[in-house]
Amino acid sequence: MARSALLNVMTQAAMKAGRSLTRDFGEVQNLQVSMKGPADFVSNADRRAEEIVHQELARARPDWGFLMEERGVVEGKDPQHRWIVDPLDGTTNFLHGIPMFAVSIALERDGQIVAGVVFNPAMDELYTAEKGGGAYLNDRRLRVAARQRLPEALFGTGIPFLGRGDHAGFLYELRQIISETAGIRRIGAASLDIAYVAAGRLDGFWERALEPWDLSAGAILVREAGGFVTGMDGKKFDHVAGDIVCGNEFMHKALIDQLQKAEAKRQAAKTS
């Protein structure tokens, strides 16, 4: 697969940061870890990886800005371009020795995501996509799964944890969807969940209240793999808003329908 110069820059940054994470993963018990909030961890592995990504991308495009999980907003001279970076998506997995984590890099141009890279160094899986250029896993072209029956479908999601999310609302969604489908998976790294939809491993994915760095790269992967990506209401996707539903055309619509049924049951329970 021939990558554009832009994707080469993103790929090199992700892979270099991934090599750093792989070294730290082998010594995870020695990492210095702190908490940003309840059950929300940050380690020196996150910070090292973010520094590597920042250095690599800033050297290649010195005028472009950043939105990064740990550093936040870094203004650039070019107002049209911004890198959106999660240096370690799946920190909790990482710190527990679970090899499901990723470096996620997206490029925002004039408010729209136009390229994305998700790299899982533990499995040596590199997902790449550029607007109009298709989505790839390493050198293999990706297409979303073609399933059209809910009883055969496997969906991914994120589960609210201590101090985060609407636990009661999620349980209504979970009860609704598990009653209609082949199952649900919770990988623990949204960028990988969404990349798995692009790869056809999952038939769809939904989650609320994510950050832009969690879902931006994954969203363009799904679109370039022929899938649909929207907010929870089925309308236009906004990577800054943080809600996402994705899948092939049928599964995307079916998932939206199930989520609406869950919300209707929740509202009915409130008034009963």
Residue 86 marked in a binding site? yes
Q: What type of residue sits at position 233?
A: D
Three-state SS at 20: helix
- Is 80 exceeded by the pLDDT of residue 42? no
CA atoms within 13 A of residue 212's CA, in its CB half-sphere: 22
User: Does the pLDDT of residue 110 top 60, yes or no?
Assistant: yes
User: In the 3-class helix/strand/coil scheme, how is 145-178 assigned residue by residue?
Assistant: CCCCCHHHCEEEECCCCCCCCCHHHHHHHHHHHH
Q: Decide if pLDDT at 38 tops 50.
A: no
Instruction: Map residue 26 onto helix, strand or coil.
Output: coil
Q: What is the pLDDT of residue 217?
A: 98
Checking if the pLDDT of 52 tops 80, the result is yes
The answer on whether 63 is annotated among ligand-binding residues is: no
pLDDT at res. 96: 87
Q: pLDDT grade, residue 163 (50/70/90)?
A: confident
Go through the domains of the chain in sequence order and give each one's CATH number.
Answer: 5-141 (3.30.540.10), 150-271 (3.40.190.80)
The CA distance from 28 to 34, in Å, is: 13
pLDDT at residue 30, as a whole number:
66
**Residue 243 is labelled as binding a ligand:** no
Q: What is the pTM of this model?
A: 0.94
C-alpha span between 28 and 218 (Å, rounded): 26
pLDDT band at 31 (very low <50, low <70, confident <90, very high): low
Identify which has the larger pLDDT, 232 or 165: 232
Report the chain's mean pLDDT, rounded to a whole number: 93
pLDDT class of 37 with cuts at 50, 70, 90: very low
